[in-house]
Copies of this chain bind each other. A is one copy, B any other.
Amino acid sequence: MQFACRQKVLFRHCDPAGIVFYPRYFEMLNDCVETFFDECIGWPFETVHKEAAVPTASISVDFTTPSHHGDLLEFNLMVVRLGTASMALEFRATCGEELRLKGGSTLVYVGPGGRPQPWPRTVRDAMADKKWGTQ
């Protein structure tokens, strides 16, 4: 099962070529991950970031087809591996049947000093039923 969130392509996302400027896709992806933590894990980023952080350690994306102003995008997110302090995600965005991007990223859970630390139980429990991923 995958987490889905929708995002209309807005004026602020688009470049002089009239398509989404690719750094804006990463903002959309971050919003999607933030919403996933809030709605699926029950651990919103504003709580996580009081004492810790979940920086992105790596990310890789193929932009298969450009998106235009007004397009209705659906982002799908799946946790493919939960490590001790890391989380591997796979994602894609589509507009109707058309693939716009696909890729993967790895997040790391770090403490105040930026050192990786084990995910808290709330994350492990949320992943235990394999509802949002393959593990």
Residues of A within 8 A of B (CB): 9-12, 14-19, 21-24, 26-27, 30-31, 34, 44-47, 49, 53, 55-63, 66, 68-70, 114
A55 touches B17 (CB 8 A): yes
B23 touches A30 (CB 8 A): yes
Pair A16/B59 contact, Cβ less than 8 Å: no
- Chain B residues with Cβ below 8 Å from A12 are 15, 21, 23, 27, 30-31
**Is the Cβ of B22 less than 8 Å from the Cβ of A10?**
no
- List 9 other contacts, CB 8 Å, given A14-B15, A22-B30, A49-B69: A11-B16, A12-B30, A15-B16, A16-B69, A23-B23, A23-B24, A44-B70, A59-B60, A59-B63
Question: Which chain B residues border A58 with CB–CB below 8 Å?
Answer: 60-63
3 smallest CB-CB distances across A and B, nearest first, come from A46-B70, A23-B26, A60-B60
**Assembly CA distance A15 to B26 (angstroms):** 14
**Residues in chain B near residue A61, CB distance under 8 A:** 58-60
A21 proximity list for chain B (CB < 8 A): 11-12, 30
A44 to B11 Cα, complex, angstroms: 10
Q: How far is the CA of A59 from the CA of B62 in the complex (A)?
A: 7
